[in-house]
Amino acid sequence: MTAESHRGAGPAIAGPAPQVDLFLLAGSFPGLTHTEALRAAVDYAAAAERAGFDGVWLAEHHFSGYGTCPSAVAMAAHLLGRSRRLRVGTAAAILPNRHPVALAEEAALLDAVSSGRFDLGVARGGPWVDLEVFGTGLERYGHDGFTAALDLLLAGLSGAGTVSGDGKRFPFRDVAMVPRPRHRLPVWVAATAPPTVELAAARGLPLLLGMHDDDAAKAAMLRHHAAAGGGATAGHASAHLAFVADTAEEAESVLRRTMPGWLAAAGASVRIDGSEPPRRDLGAYLEQLLAMHPVGPADRCVRRLRATLAVTGVRRLLLMVEGGGDPRRTLDNIERLGRDVLPGLRCLH
């Protein structure tokens, strides 16, 4: 399908064509071992480069089959070494689980050896048992703790030659940043609530917007970010479930078979205080995702993504392509998205 055939497949969009990336969770779908899920994710990144995608972003999870990658930074290093053109980012590294200076060192390392192809996204995560296992505790999950960690990370990535602790949460002397970043390295912040949006805005950082919100909710979040001093939307990224099939009925039928078991793993996270996490109606949640994301024939996918661009103003789309569950089906999905959907997003006027 050519770009010509996509004319009229959605609103004309002002501004530059978007960057379109994959969003990989290395999900352990039924029938896949953890090793198979991780190796499949590597294959998906290689397929993304062949299909013409701009980049790949990697999720990070601990102790959950929802995502089998416990270090988005380590996986990014592997994919950067295997690729020649792709940008590779973390969506997101869980900042409360680790020391921010160690993360800054690793980001500076990957920026240097990849000729600037690494993008760092961080998240606050949840009040999960991760905080107990890694010894950081609930204080680091709290807003003040997350703010202190983010500020220290940004100091390490500022391009200054040294970094020092704040004397309270991070009490350490002034040390050299080695490798020293060539310039201030960008950081994205995953946000689902106003306090995190406001923190990112105050620091001049773009947002990573998840799959659970529709375009109107994302647009409202970005307006809040701008009102809080965050500026234009150029750097923000929006994640979407994406699955191409010949008909909407076929695409939705596949995802209704494959996704509920995988989504259930997301609700199995253990809280650090031992309380039960909120239970989501997975059937209703899946129907919500199907209704608002690019699922179905290519023209329908183009229309929905063009609508996102028009309503939100974002220029970076992250497509979660693993919903079909089977690696062969996912590779086919990546190929079809590259062949039949990307041209309709890169000829927007």
| Tens digits of residue pLDDT in 75-122 | 999 999 999 999 999 999 999 999 999 999 999 999 999 999 999 999
Annotate 192-235 with DSSP letters as a single string. Answer: SSHHHHHHHHHTT-PEEE-TTS-HHHHHHHHHHHIIIII--STT
Q: pLDDT by residue (tens digit) across 26-78?
A: 999 988 999 999 999 999 999 999 999 999 999 999 998 899 999 999 999 99
| Rounded Cα–Cα distance for residues 140 and 136 (Å) | 6
Is residue 22 within 8 A of residue 57, CB to CB? The reply is: yes
Among 8-17, 177-186, 232-241, top mean pLDDT goes to 177-186
Instruction: pLDDT band for 2, please (50, 70, 90 cuts).
Output: very low
Query: What mean pLDDT value characterizes the chain?
Result: 93
Q: pLDDT by residue (tens digit) across 181-210?
A: 999 999 999 999 999 999 999 999 999 999
- The pLDDT score that the predictor gives to residue 219 is 97
The more confident residue out of 168 and 2 is: 168
Model pTM? 0.94
Domains and CATH numbers, the chain: 4-346 (3.20.20.30)
| Rounded Cα–Cα distance for residues 69 and 289 (Å) | 23
| Number of neighbouring beta carbons within 10 Å of residue 332 | 16
